[in-house]
Amino acid sequence: MKRVLVFLVFINMMSCDYFNKKKVYSEDLLEEELQSFSWNEVDEYPAFISCDSTLEKEAKKQCFEHTLRDILNTNLAQYHIVVTEAINETINLKITIDKEGQFSINSIESSALTKQQIPQLDSLLRASLDSLPKIFPALKRSQQVTTQFSFPVVIKIE
């Protein structure tokens, strides 16, 4: 009987840690979750309706950029731009697509020579991208999110 009692006391003392529950705080879970994924990447890039939704992530990005470049080239080709010096430059457009799919140009980075030769370039680029087809916003964890891109545009006029 004494052995059984010692055994039960021993088991009781060992099992105390088994029943202790560790408290889990929501702030700790949130902090751990925020550390586990990259804020600089999205799960799905923005897309035009012409880009198939079954495409892989990188293919969807390329389709979006290709479609945007085609629209820009088509619209810019309508303008007759005359320059005194040849221009062969890559201009950077900083663009934003908000979570509703609205497109906006934040800034246009170009050289002083290009600004001097084509002073209306900013307004031409903005006008060329005013009538874009519907854009589906980027997705991060199944939520629509605002994204910003740096979009290079090659300007070559001789």
Q: What is the pTM of this model?
A: 0.70
The alpha-helical segments, DSSP class H, found in the chain are 2-19, 26-36, 57-76, 112-117, 121-128
Residues in the chain: 158
Which of 12-16, 21-25, 81-85 is most confident? Answer: 81-85
Residue 123 tokens read as 């307004």
> In this model, does residue 94 exceed pLDDT 90?
yes
> Could you read off the pLDDT of 32-87 as tens digits, one per residue?
765 665 656 777 888 888 886 666 888 888 888 899 899 888 888 888 877 778 88
> In this model, does residue 105 exceed pLDDT 80?
yes
Residue 157 tokens read as 């006029």
